[in-house]
Structure 1
Amino acid sequence: MERIHTKFVHLPLVAVPPPPPRFTLDEWHLNNRFRNRTCLDQERLADSVLAESDRLIDQVNEITDTNKKDVDHKIDEKIKDIEFNKTEIDLQRKAVCMEIECLNMYIERIKDALNALQEDSLKIVRKCLLLRESRVGIDLCCDSIDTELKKEFQTIEGAKSLLGRTLEQANEQVRRLKSTIYFMDRDLEDKGNVLKIDKHNLFLKETSLNLSIYHGFAPLDPANITLDEWEQFTKESIEKAAKEINSARQLRSYVDTLLKQVIDDLWSQYHTVNEAFRKRIEETKEAKTKMEVQHAEIVRQVNEITRVTARLSKAISDKEGYMALAHTRLGNRAQRPGVELCKDLVEISLVNEVAELRNNVAILQHQRAEVQASLRYLLKTQIQLEEDINVKTNTLKIDEVDCMSLRQSMDYHAY
């Protein structure tokens, strides 16, 4: 049988809803009362929620404002603390800088003292010792001047060694002060950066532009140093600077005392050496004067002996005439004839005269020999005296002229 095609075949199937339920009148009143009660409950709940919300909003706003004010106050206090510490460090830094300048002046004083000792005093003492080696003869002896000059040389060397060690200590103290300034500068720089950060934070408001919320995972409070540690660090930095300043001041006081003691010792030895020079020069002058007096007496005696020698020679020469006369008379009387050739008184007198003349001439010749020997000794003594006088003159020139002129240029002061 052929199927009947209608237009419903091509339409979708539609479900027909069931008829709405039917309620009773009591259910209707009950539902109205329930809806009314529910609305009232919701209204009361909404009023409560609104009131709580307003309270929470006011409370949160108050807490937020209080926290912000507290943070602002703490930032302000922190800024003041940093500024106070920064001021203290600045003052301490200025004190350290002033101490470095003062210590550098003391270092220059030590260097000046060392240079004066090395270039002036030590060279003068060495030259004096070298000049005194030019003494000759008996004057080249180890006298009090040599002893005191060597002591002065040792005193200068000891002063140089002591000042050299003190100079090293002063340089080390300057290095420590500069190291202190370096760490204080780093601390000041860090505190300056913190001041910029905190002042910028204090300036920021909740309505400021360029505010942002951090969405990262790293903590925003990476600080691991406590406030006590921060305060202790600043305190230790200031205390360390004060300690270095105190050490530098003690060192400067020590340098003052050392320079005064060194100068006093050098002046004392300087005057001791000069006194030794003075006494030795007086002794040398006294010895030279005695020698000059002796030399004058020797010259006088030489002249006198020369005259005596001439007189003795003339006396001996004069006796030759008397001897010739006596011999001639004896020769003439030897020609007497016969019995006239007798030993009469004349003959005896002539013979005695000749013998006496021979004896006297021998005595005169012996005396002349002694006088000539004495003259030789006197001339030798005169030459020795002249040599000794020349030696003393050379010594006086070295000690009084050369050495004392050099020592006049020696000068010790506090530098």
Structure 2
Amino acid sequence: MATLSMKPGLRCRVPDWENSNEQISEAAQHRRHISHKIRQEGRALRNETVNKTGWDEYDSSRRLSDRINDIARWKKSLEACAQEVDAEIDALTVAKEETERALAATVLPLEVSAECLTLREGRRGNELVSDPVEAQLKKEVDVIDGAQRVLQQCIDQAFEQLCLLQEAHHQLILDLQHKMEALDVDMSCLSLTVTSPEISLKPNPTRVPPGSTTPQQWEQFSHYNVTRAKEEMQASLQLRENISITRAQVQNELEAQRIATEFTLRKRTHHLEQALQELQWQLKTTQNEITDLEGDIRGLERDMQAKMAPLKLVHTRLENRTKRPGVDLCRDEVQYGLVEEARQLDSTILALKQKLAQAQDSLQSLQHHEAQMLEDLSCKQEALALEQRSMQTRRRLTPTAQSDASSMPVVPLANSRGRLQLA
């Protein structure tokens, strides 16, 4: 018969055992309830987070798309404005270069005017007069000097405006480059998905980068750049119109003064030719008179010489008759006739001498005046030659010569065509 081992232990009562079982059941039921609630809440949270995450991702993608559209819109506006500024820079550069050529074309007229003034300083004697030609030439020099100052002022203004346009163009290009880079970044971000291999966790991704701006500042910046560029283009357009008007006015003034100067020069040359012809006629007439007077003087001298023989005859007869003797030394009719003849011959010789002296004085006066006329003729011929040389010199100012001078290459005062280009 087997022996039962009896171990002492703490024994619970049946009610306690039942209570324990009931507590275990209630705890299990409670925990199952809590777990069920947690599972339901988890499922709801999962559904909510899935929807929220999907919606947030869609909303972010939509915002990125809207942002890309905004950037693309401003990019297009900046590109169009940059092209307009570039075209305006080209147009203003052309206007500036045309003005530089117009300025260079005034060098020749100024040289010609100065050369004409210098040539006319070579006139001698009474021909060195302050005539209307000199006044017109001096006025022409003043007009050309004024035109050069006005054209140079236009060139300086164009250069300054080109600098402003280039600065505005540079700001547009810089802003455009930033827009293109931002567009590339946002388009890259839009193309990313949850399955993209290049996505990863980043340290502190929600930080605000230094230099960040607000959307209002972002839009105001581009709006300012476009507005400023348009203002500079408007100013450039107005300047080009003013330059064109100024060039036309200067050209008209120079042409009008050139015509006035050449008209005065031709008129003066014509008067000088008339005076020269008149002087040549007077000189020829005087020389003919001198020739005739010299012949008459020789005739007077011959006549005086011819009177000496009759005078000697009379003197000899009178002297011989003084030798008559006695009463025959009579003052008869012969004596009175010989005395009267001697007196008449003396009077005739005296008259011939006086007339010869007058003729010689007149000859000397004519010869002196002839020398003066020859000198004046030489001066007039030289003056006429100088006027003709001046007219020949001014032929360089004909429209053909001016067009040739305006077509000469001009070195720009500054390199105004260099601009930044998009990469």
Alignment equivalent of 1:96, drawn from 69, 85, 98: 85
1:326-373 Cα offsets, whole Å, 9 max, x none, are 223333433444333212212211110110110011001101100110
| Percent identity between the two aligned chains | 27
Distance 1:45 1:274, change over 3 A: same
Cα distance in 1, alignment partners of residues 210 and 113 from structure 2: 71
Match of 1:189 in 2: 177
Q: What residue identity is the alignment partner of 2:327? A: V
Residue 87 (structure 1) aligned with residue 79 (structure 2): no
Residue 115 (structure 1) aligned with residue 104 (structure 2): yes
Residue 18 (structure 1) aligned with residue 9 (structure 2): yes
Cα distance in 2, alignment partners of residues 176 and 337 from structure 1: 136
Match of 2:412 in 1: none
Q: What residue identity is the alignment partner of 2:72? A: E
Q: Secondary structure at the match of 2:201?
A: coil
Distance 1:408 1:332, change over 3 A: same
1:20-52 Cα offsets, whole Å, 9 max, x none, are 312239x62x66666556555555554444333
Alignment equivalent of 2:95, drawn from 100, 106, 120: 106
- Which of 215-224 and 62-71 deviates more? 215-224
Deviation of 1:375 after TM superposition, in Å, equals 0.6
Match of 2:159 in 1: 171
- Which of 364-373 and 156-165 deviates more? 156-165
Residue 78 (structure 1) aligned with residue 45 (structure 2): no
- Which of 228-237 and 153-162 deviates more? 153-162
Match of 1:266 in 2: 254
Alignment equivalent of 1:215, drawn from 193, 203, 213: 203
Cα distance in 2, alignment partners of residues 184 and 20 from structure 1: 95
1:75-108 Cα offsets, whole Å, 9 max, x none, are 1111121112111111111122222222222222
Cα distance in 1, alignment partners of residues 89 and 186 from structure 2: 34
Residue 375 (structure 1) aligned with residue 366 (structure 2): no
Match of 2:380 in 1: 392
Q: What residue identity is the alignment partner of 1:21? A: C
| Correspondence list, 1:320-331, <5 A | 320-331=308-319
Cα distance in 2, alignment partners of residues 70 and 217 from structure 1: 19
TM-score by length of 1: 0.89
Two-structure CA RMSD over aligned residues (Å): 2.3
Match of 2:233 in 1: 245
Cα distance in 2, alignment partners of residues 155 and 84 from structure 1: 53
- Which of 165-174 and 258-267 deviates more? 165-174
Structure number with bigger Rg: 1
Cα distance in 1, alignment partners of residues 196 and 205 from structure 2: 25
Match of 1:4 in 2: none
- Which of 158-167 and 297-306 deviates more? 158-167
| Correspondence list, 1:13-412, <5 A | 18-24=9-15, 28=18, 42-118=31-107, 120-216=108-204, 219=207, 224-400=212-388, 402-410=389-397
Q: What residue identity is the alignment partner of 1:91? A: A
Distance 1:161 1:223, change over 3 A: closer
- Which of 35-44 and 302-311 deviates more? 35-44
Cα distance in 2, alignment partners of residues 305 and 222 from structure 1: 117
1:214-259 Cα offsets, whole Å, 9 max, x none, are 2348715656311111111001101111111111111111111111
Distance 1:223 1:204, change over 3 A: farther
Match of 2:421 in 1: none
Cα distance in 1, alignment partners of residues 40 and 272 from structure 2: 125
- Which of 38-47 and 181-190 deviates more? 38-47
Distance 1:159 1:17, change over 3 A: farther
Q: Secondary structure at the match of 1:24?
A: helix
Q: What residue identity is the alignment partner of 1:408? A: R
Q: After TM superposition, which residue ranges in structure 1, 4 or more long, deviate above 6 angstroms?
A: none
Q: What residue identity is the alignment partner of 1:405? A: Q
1:145-183 Cα offsets, whole Å, 9 max, x none, are 111111111111111122222212211111222222222
Cα distance in 2, alignment partners of residues 220 and 331 from structure 1: 157
Q: What residue identity is the alignment partner of 1:210? A: E
The number of aligned residues is: 396
Cα distance in 2, alignment partners of residues 166 and 337 from structure 1: 121
Q: Secondary structure at the match of 1:343?
A: coil
Of structures 1 and 2, the one with the larger relative CO (CA 8 A, separation 6+) is 2
Match of 2:416 in 1: none
1:284-334 Cα offsets, whole Å, 9 max, x none, are 112112111111111111111111111111211121122122223333433
Q: Secondary structure at the match of 1:409?
A: helix
1:122-159 Cα offsets, whole Å, 9 max, x none, are 21111111111111111112221111111111111111
Distance 1:217 1:256, change over 3 A: closer
In structure 2, runs of 5+ residues without a counterpart are 1-6, 407-423
Cα distance in 2, alignment partners of residues 351 and 161 from structure 1: 96
Q: What residue identity is the alignment partner of 2:96? A: I
